[in-house]
Amino acid sequence: MGAGKVTMRYYIVDAFTDRPFGGNPAGVVLLGDEPFPDEGLMLQVAAELRYSETAFVRRLSAAEYHVRYFTPAVEVELCGHATVAAFALLHRLGLATGHCICHTLAGDLTIEAGERVMMQMATPRIVKTIADTGDIYKAIGLNYSEFKIQNSKFDLPVQIAYAGLKDIMIPIPDVATLNALQPDMEAVAAITKEYATTSFHVFTLPTDALTQSHNNAITAYVRDFAPLYDIPEESATGTANAALTHYLAVNGVIPSQGDFAFLQGEAMGRPSVVATRIAPDGTVYVGGTAAIVAEGELLTQ
């Protein structure tokens, strides 16, 4: 290698799936115990890899890591699927097993690294209830005044929920409507910017028949749109589904503790199952399995 070049080992890992080319892909760059490179370089690497997020992982000890997350446009505080991807990779490489600490801009998180990775999310909360929802539904191509939530006895609000990032929780009537959505991405980006949020997290609750057809208890079916961050749609979003878990518990849809599952990515042809858990103390965990798709070296000068 020529003088001045920097080598970084990178991997492509599909999170929230047990097979390649499913779930949500993330870039993972392992730095060993080296310091983080220049922010501009990390942004360039994320843009080159072109995934919604790339995690840069610095090892502090066998059970302690510092992770930073970059979209192709900006650094973000936290990314659930990239964290699952990173710690699944570290486990497969024999670098992390069991209880680990992950330092992020959103705070220090507890990670259980194994074949299935479960990560503690930032303390969840409802940030705001949005009363005037007309523009929000119009942005996803719906007129809310023309329908009601048909598959639930709950009158669910549009709220901003937080579990590391702020996302707008948007209920709609059924799976068919969900899968047919064609959002106006410019309008979605403008509204998420107005409310200082990351995404539109659109969901519907399952009917008994739909739940049984997947042979698993699916808590909700979801799609996530974050065009403000150059992510038109994601096939699995850990932070947003953790926020949705808290939202559903606060609004009485699910119990205040237990295990839950969210099906996402079907409309993209990349079905993903995101597992969440609410502990007795109210802590929300999110996780799943991951598949390593590719690895290589990035040479930068």
Catalytically active residues are: 53
Sign of the alpha-carbon torsion through 284, 290, 293, 295: positive
Beta-strand runs (E) in 117-230: 117-120, 125-129, 159-162, 166-171, 199-204, 220-226
Q: Which residue has the tokens 């590719």?
A: 294
How far apart are the C-alpha atoms of 145 and 243, rounded to whole Å? Answer: 26
Phi, psi of 261 (to 5 degrees): -145, 140
Rounded to whole angstroms, what are the CA distances from 182 to 137, 179, 223? Answer: 11, 9, 11
Sign of the torsion formed by the C-alpha atoms of 97, 99, 100 and 102 = positive
Q: Tell me the Ramachandran region of residue 39: left when phi exceeds 0, alpha when psi lies from -120 to 50, beta otherwise.
A: alpha
Structure tokens at 165: 């990032």
Question: What are the distances in angstroms from CA 180 to CA 37, 129, 172, 195?
Answer: 42, 26, 12, 25
